[in-house]
Amino acid sequence: MSVITYRQALRDTLRAEMLRDDDVLLLGEEIGLFEGSYKITEGLLNEFGEQRVRDTPISEEGFVGAAVGTAMMGLRPVVELMTINFSLIAVDQIINHAAKVYGMFGGQTSVPMVIRTPGGGGQQLGATHSQNIELFYAFVPGLKVLAPSSPADAAAMLRAAVRDDDPVMLLENLGLYNSKGEVPDGDESVAEIGRAAVTREGSDITLIGYSRMAAMSLRVAEELAEQDVSVEVVDLRSLRPLDRQTVVDSVRKTGCAVIAEDDWLTYGIGAEVAASIQEGAFDYLDAPVRRVAMAEVPLPYAKPLENAALPSTESITTAVKETLSAVGKRVG
């Protein structure tokens, strides 16, 4: 077992998949000579050459479109978008082409491509470079949207994305790149797309998150355990398809739930999860489902304001305690 960063897990997995399958190639801005803005592709140009590691012009619509065509011809391109915010430039290629080709042509042509892209706030990158707009893509049939929270999951989910025959968006939160975790040596496990994980079992309340919020939820659960509160943490992992059953099963056990997300509150992923709980576990609920999310503002650049706008362990803890209070359990 090795302890590595989320960044290293992604880089090692990309390399392993390129060694495994000659049809895997990389496209993106500055992924070759510069080795990627976040060094996920470090050393891969030297090892695999320009035919398989392609530096592209600053033209997201162009190189995402090229990847769609490449995938339709039978290769397995992995596109790096420097930030999910730049996906807005390529949204036509993602939503109207990658997601729809298989259905529009009666299943005659699949689009086995991956779009890797980081997002999220907390890095003082300002309003246009700090967004969590995964909802846009989780909304679209034909796409699969993954959001790993740990190095081991980043590796297993990237492996699954590369080998999948549908277009997959793998969302990497900037705040997780330097996080560390255990990854089994020689591990080649492939995650099941559409499967959530109970990352900590508990009995008092269900705390649901994904990506950075799943990691933060685990910290909250550990802290509350010291106050005799048993929190069950569900990491969604896959936003589309969404594993509603694991969420419902957990809430049926605990009787209450808090959802933590990095995106804006209204119309967000949490709203979909709350609706799933209402449909599948309404009779088991002892308190309303609570959501904790980012303030509904363009994310400020100033650090104190940025911190104030983002969800935190404190805001999640408060929501958990208030929900437990509503069901008659007082916490220290």
CATH code (residue 120): 3.40.50.970
Q: Count up the domains in the chain and report the number.
A: 2
Closest among 171, 144, 178, 183 to 13, alpha carbons compared: 183
Q: What's the CATH code of the domain at 300?
A: 3.40.50.920
Residue 332 has pLDDT above 80, yes or no: no
> Hey, how many other C-beta atoms are within 10 angstroms of the C-beta on 12?
18
Quote the pLDDT of residue 325: 95
Per-residue pLDDT band at 257 (split at 50, 70, 90):
very high
Query: Residue 24: inside a domain, yes or no?
Result: yes
Domain that includes residue 226, residue range = 197-327
CA distance 303 to 48: 40
Last residue of a domain, one of 128, 155, 183: 183
Pairing of strands 231-235, 197-200: antiparallel
pTM value?
Answer: 0.96
Do 93 and 146 lie in one domain? The reply is yes
- 96 and 139 fall within a common domain: yes
Whether residue 179 is found in the same domain as residue 203: no
Residue 186: what pLDDT? 85
Same domain, 174 and 254: no
Distances (CA, A) of 163 to 27, 36, 253, 269: 17, 22, 35, 26
- Tell me the pairing of strands 197-200 and 76-80: unpaired
Contacts of 33 (CB under 8 A, 6+ apart): 45, 55
The three-class DSSP label of residue 154 is: helix
pLDDT (average), residues 71-95: 97
- At residue 179, the pLDDT reads 97
Report the SS3 class of residue 11.
helix
Contacts of residue 23, defined as CB under 8 A and 6 or more positions apart, other chains included, come to 74, 75, 76
pLDDT single digits (tens) 167-184: 999 999 999 999 999 998
Catalytic site positions:
60, 129
